[in-house]
Amino acid sequence: MSGRRLLFIPGPVGVEEDVLLESAKPPINHRGREFHALLDETLGLLKRVLRTRNEVVLLTSSGTGAVEALAANFGPRRRVLVVNAGEFGGRLAEALRVHGAQVVEVASELGTLPSLEGVLEKIEAVKPEVVAFVYNDTSPGIRVSYARELCRAAKEVGALVLVDAVSAAGGDELDVDSWGVDGLATASQKCLAAPPGLSFVVLSEEALGRLVERPTTVYFDLRRYLDYLKRRETPFTPAVTLVYALRRALQRILEVGVDSWIRLHVERAAVLYSAFESLGLVPFVRREEHRSRTVLSFTLPGQRDLGEIRRSLSENYGIEAAGGLGALGDRIIRFGVMGPVKYSELVALVTAVGLELRRRGVEADVEAALSKLEKLKGLYEALRIR
């Protein structure tokens, strides 16, 4: 099936036309005044969206690059406790180990979150120098609902707090400064609804003072970036045209309002969980408060392999969904719902999934699912997202 496809994957997300057009501007001198002004304005907008006064470093990389930067600049020779609730929690632990950290993991069965009590006990026993976690692990579609309490506990033992918020920043509650997050990694192609290729590291005052003396990287050496940032440059050639697009995407979020933008993600997820349950799908994450608000994961009782449904959605409707990563594979189906995602696109998704399930003998109540979606109409109209 040719033409524009609907991306309901964990990223990249669909990008609005005016944002894409910005990326078509001619490249400019990344050592010149025009870029200095562009970077300064864009970082200012990003701080407003992320609600932080802390220093923000822009990287030309995927979100994994920002996570790697945290690992390389804060992990070497340090004792790090990692809360691991999924594939990306495992990758975070791996990155820290590669860069010389002594990693202690607190893990749980897939689809569940380690208990806060268990994590606090481990923090008290290990006395880590760094506590790190993935706020929203897109596979299996789980969020660390006790993130604020976890940050507080880490601070009580004098630990730095590192957070992978690649798929959460802009789409879930997150107050970097008041929660006490020292190093936060996020990226352009998720809830910020910009093209892929840029990532960001937010650094607290405490983090600036506790960068390792010899980071195990050249490209992601944050001291270099901070030094160049004084003159509003990056040490290596940035993706200049993507910065134009990011600036426009951030302006769009601020036009809607950050509170409203996050509310869109939270309320939309709640409605979609309910709508998909009407179709016979079962949320993979058992406890409601632990379910991701940006990437929704489901199983289908009696059918272990969901890959065929994903392929049918792609071939017959031009809708891209995702399977699980690692051990989950086609045991689950995931729907990424980040950024503006038009109401009509939600209707198309729910209808297509319902029809595909009916074809397979599932008693999918498409009408009930669509009626639940109507709860979002007022929100979409209020936010003027069409």
pLDDT in tens, 283-303: 999 999 999 999 999 999 987
- Average model confidence (pLDDT) for the chain? 97
**Per-domain residue ranges of the chain:** 6-12+257-383, 24-255
What is the model's pLDDT at position 128?
A: 98
Given CA atoms 75, 81, 85, 86 in this order, what sign does their dihedral have? positive
Rounded distance between C-alpha atoms, residue 293 and residue 126, angstroms? 31
Asked if residue 42 lies in contact with residue 246, where contact means CB atoms within 8 angstroms, the answer is yes
Tokens of 4: 């524009």
209-241: pLDDT as tens digits: 999 999 999 999 999 999 999 999 999 999 999
The pLDDT tens digits of the residues spanning 63-72 come to 999 999 999 9
Q: What is the per-residue pLDDT for 1? A: 44
CATH of domain 24-255: 3.40.640.10
pLDDT tens per residue, range 157-197: 999 999 999 999 999 999 999 999 999 999 999 999 999 99
Q: What is the band of 3 on the pLDDT scale with cuts at 50, 70, 90?
A: low
Q: Is the dihedral of CA 100, 11, 244, 267 positive or negative?
A: negative
Second-level CATH architecture of 6-12+257-383? Alpha-Beta Complex (3.90)
Tokens 């869109």 correspond to 264
Same fold, 6-12+257-383 and 24-255: no
Does the bond joining 196 to the residue before it have cis omega, within 30 degrees of 0?
A: no
- Per residue, the 3-state secondary structure of the chain, as one string, reads CCCCCEECCCCCCCCCHHHHHHCCCCCCCCCCHHHHHHHHHHHHHHHHHHCCCCEEEEECCCHHHHHHHHHHHHCCCCEEEEEECCHHHHHHHHHHHHCCCEEEEEECCCCCCCCHHHHHHHHHHHCCCEEEEECEECCCCEECCCHHHHHHHHHHCCCEEEEECCCCCCCCCCCHHHHCCCEEEEECCCCCCCCCCCEEEEECHHHHHCCCCCCCCCCCCHHHHHHHHCCCCCCCCCCHHHHHHHHHHHHHHHHHCHHHHHHHHHHHHHHHHHHHHHCCCEECCCCHHHECCCEEEEEECCECCCHHHHHHHHHHHCEECEECCCCCHHHCEEEECCCCCCHHHHHHHHHHHHHHHHHCCCCCCHHHHHHHHHHHHHHHHHHCCC
Other beta carbons within 10 Å of 243: 27
Confidence of residue 123 (pLDDT cuts 50, 70, 90): very high
pTM of the predicted structure, to 2 decimals = 0.97
Residue range 67-119, pLDDT digits in tens: 999 999 999 999 999 999 999 999 999 999 999 999 999 999 999 999 999 99
- Given a cut of 80, whether residue 363 has pLDDT beyond it is yes
pLDDT in tens, 139-156: 999 999 999 999 999 999
